[in-house]
Structure formats: C-alpha cells, structure tokens
Amino acid sequence: MVHTPFWGRAGGERQILRLAIELQKIGHKVEVFTNAVNEETFPDFFKQLTVNVIQHPMKGKMPKWLAPAETYGKSPGAGTEKPSVLRTWMRRRMGRQFYTIPYQFPCMLCIGRKIPKRFDVVNNHNFPTEWAVFFAKKRLKAPVVWMCNEPPYWFFIPELRNGLRKLNWPLFELLDRVAVNYIDEICVLSKVGAGFVRKAYNRSAKVVRTGVDTELIHNASGKELRRKYNLENDFIMLFVGGSSYARRSELVKALYQLSKSYDNVKLILDVPARQKETLTKLSEELGIRNRILFFHSTSDKELAEVYAACDVFVYPSAISPWGLVVTEAMAAAKPVIVSNQVGTSEIIQDGVNGIVIDRAKPDKIAKQVEVLINNPKLCKNLGENAYEYVKNNLSWERYAKNIEIVFQEVISRSKGNP
C-alpha cells in the first residue's frame, strides 16, 4: 500500500491505516510505503503495521522556502513550523503543483523503485501515488488498484490552472495521465468521485464506501466539554476538517444570520491552526467572535468528545468526493447538513437520516439550522437514524472485505483467468 506523507490527522490517512489493519485481521500480509511519518498522528495504528519510510532523496538539502516541512523536519512536531513567506506565496500562486518537480516527483520515483518484489497486488491511495506505482508496476509484475479518494481537481477546475500554475501544468498532466493508464482498477468512495475520475481520465471507477469508527465515537460524551466552555444552554453547530474546498466562511456567515434571532447559537470549528487567522478576522468583522470556539483535536478520544458536544454538524463543501467527518458525526448520532455536491449526500435520505441542501450557501444553512433549533424531536430522530445507518452499513471490516474482492478480481485478470 502506497501513501503520501503521514504528516497530519486527516481522513485519507485514517482510511489507509484502518484498511491495512483490517486486511491483516482477515489473513493478508500488508506493508505500507510512504516518504514521511509523524508518529504522533495515529500512534496506535502505526504500532500494528509495517510502515516503510522512503525519504526524499534531497531530505535536509533543499532550502526551506522550497521544501515541505516533512522533508527537513527533525521531529514529528516539525510539521507545525510556520512556513517561510516565500513558500507560502508560491503555494498560494501555484497550489500543490508548486511541489511537482522538486518534491513530489522525486519522492514517488524513489518509492516506486524501492518497493520489493514480494506482493501480489499494489494498492495506492492519495495523489500523486499513482506516479509511484507507475514506476513500480513493470518491475513488480503485480496489478495495481488505486483507491482514488480525491483525483487532482486541476483537470476539471480551469482556475486551478491559471497564473503561475501554467508553469508546471503540462508536465503534471503528462505524468498523471500516463501513470493512470497503467492502473488496473480505480476505486472511489461515491458516485461524485466516479464523476471526477471520468472527467479527469475518461475512465470508469468502482464505488467502495469507506468505514467509520462507529462505537468509539458513539460512546463518547460531550457533557464535560460543554461544561468546560459554559455551553450547557447553547445550541452548537460544528465543523471538523482541513479540506481546502470546505467553505468554512459560509458557516461563519450562517452563524451571523442566526445570531440576529438567537442568543444561544454558537459554532465550534475543529480545524488546523493555519485556518484560524482568516476565520477569526471574518468573525470579528461580523461581530460574532465570542460565538465561535476554535479547537484542534489531536486524538480520536478528543475528536469523539467534540462530536458528542454538538447539536448539528454542517459540512459546507463546494466539492468533495466523500467527507469522512460527515459519517463520523452520523456515528455520534448527530443530525448532519451537507450540500448535494458532497459524496456523503448519496447515503443521506433528506429528512430521514440527515439534511441535504442545494449548495451550501449561508442562508440555506441558517434556514435548516433554525428548523432544528425549533424542533428538538426532529433533531433527535435525524441523529438516531444517522447512527443506525452507519452502524449497519459503514464498518471498516466491510470496507476491507469489499476492497479484498477488488484485489482478487484484478489478480485473477492479471493471471489471464476469466
């Protein structure tokens, strides 16, 4: 299994580690290959797995303005260093394509060349691991299954190819399209994700839903957290995650609209520290800074308590093939509000186990939250139905067995069997 750096606590990292563990439980031998690991992110998971770290060939030699933190960090905590002004400027102007030539390409090349010949199938995950398996496939003579959580958006969002991004785009497009041609099967988490793959590569993809830590989250209590922050009598909206496509500002604006009529509505944003500054500034401009709490959970236990403390979870994303945090909130028996542009909207029956809105605009979010504020029974029923759905349909064991079926199919095809 191949993944990009395990440097933060995100859905993609959790997904591959849990999948690897579950595959081991049902009798498979699994190894993970990556180019950096922050063991503080998922310590319990890393202890159960064989993780091979193939470091960047220029680790410690690249200037800090050019290199991501994990290439020069001396400890896991180095990933939290404040980036240089120049690197921040380049990242904003060129996005992830800024790292294509100096960082991503050499990393994937090294991983692809160093995976040993002892595997029946190679399973790569987050972009650009498809480049690593391209370099590895001919030598390994093993089929490849790409768990494509998020295909590169540059293929179908024109503005992400404007400005300085044009410098790397031709090489990026060539590398990616060629690499994907050598992948035997592509799996995605939703029909939304399958649509992205079709747009980017003109290929079909199999939908395989990921799992969720249902009981861990469901058994948590948010009472202590609410008491600690004096929230016992408040109605709490929640957002969790670091996705760059989640419109957190829309949620802050929705809170502003609600604040005109309700004194007890507050918002918890459990987000990376780097996102706090912009959202704080917006909340101050709107005069609602005292209604927002910023968290940054560093463990599963902390995160489960945050979910348990909220009254409604809102995922205001404009583009998302899935949204693991949505299913986690459902596992906590909380009503969820998502836009129909989000992959998890496919598992939500509007008004039964959640609420689906047509694009996550502030007024639409505020309207649905207001319905829940004034209807506690509906709020409770939506949450209970959400929990029942994830409990019955989204276990990590089921996810692993479904992926196992895909592995068996591609291995059989590679051997020439019908």
Listing DSSP states for 267-294 in one string gives: EEEE--GGGHHHHHHHHHHHT-GGGEEE
Is residue 64 domain-resident?
A: yes
> Region 361-388: what's the mean pLDDT?
97
Q: Is the pLDDT of residue 77 over 70?
A: no
Q: How many domains does the chain have?
A: 2
Answer whether 200's CB lies under 8 Å from 152's CB. yes
| In a shared domain, residues 292 and 146 | no
Q: How confident is the model at residue 81 (pLDDT cuts 50, 70, 90)?
A: low
| In a shared domain, residues 75 and 169 | yes
| In a shared domain, residues 275 and 404 | no
| In a shared domain, residues 404 and 337 | no
- pLDDT tens-place string over residues 163-219: 877 777 888 888 899 999 999 999 999 999 999 999 999 999 999 999 999 999 999
With the CA atoms of 186, 187, 191 and 193 taken in that order, what torsion angle do they form, in degrees rounded to the nearest 10?
-70
> Region 393-404: what's the mean pLDDT?
97
> Region 131-139: what's the mean pLDDT?
94
| In a shared domain, residues 266 and 167 | no
Is residue 6 domain-resident?
A: no
CATH code of 289's domain: 3.40.50.2000
Is residue 178 domain-resident?
A: yes
| In a shared domain, residues 183 and 294 | no
Of 208 and 80, which is predicted with more confidence? 208
With the CA atoms of 342, 36, 124 and 40 taken in that order, what torsion angle do they form, in degrees rounded to the nearest 10?
-50
Is residue 3 domain-resident?
A: no
On the 0-12 / 13-18 / 19+ scale of CB atoms within 10 A, 310 is buried
| In a shared domain, residues 256 and 360 | yes
Q: How confident is the model at residue 74 (pLDDT cuts 50, 70, 90)?
A: very low
Of 9 and 115, which is predicted with more confidence? 115
Answer whether 298's CB lies under 8 Å from 276's CB. no
- Give the closest residue to 183 by CA, choosing from 160, 199, 206: 206
Is residue 243 domain-resident?
A: yes
Residues in contact with 47: Cβ distance below 8 Å, sequence separation at least 6, in sequence order: none
What φ, ψ does residue 328 adopt, rounded to 5°? Answer: -65, -40
Q: How would you label 226-243 residue by residue, b for 16+ Cβ within 10 Å and e otherwise?
A: beeeebeebbbbbbbbbb
pLDDT at 318: 77
Domain span at residue 104 reads 11-211+396-414
- Where in 235-277 does DSSP place strands (E)? 235-240, 265-270
| In a shared domain, residues 15 and 154 | yes
Mark out the alpha helices in 79-210 (DSSP H runs): 85-94, 105-114, 129-140, 169-181, 191-201
Is residue 247 domain-resident?
A: yes
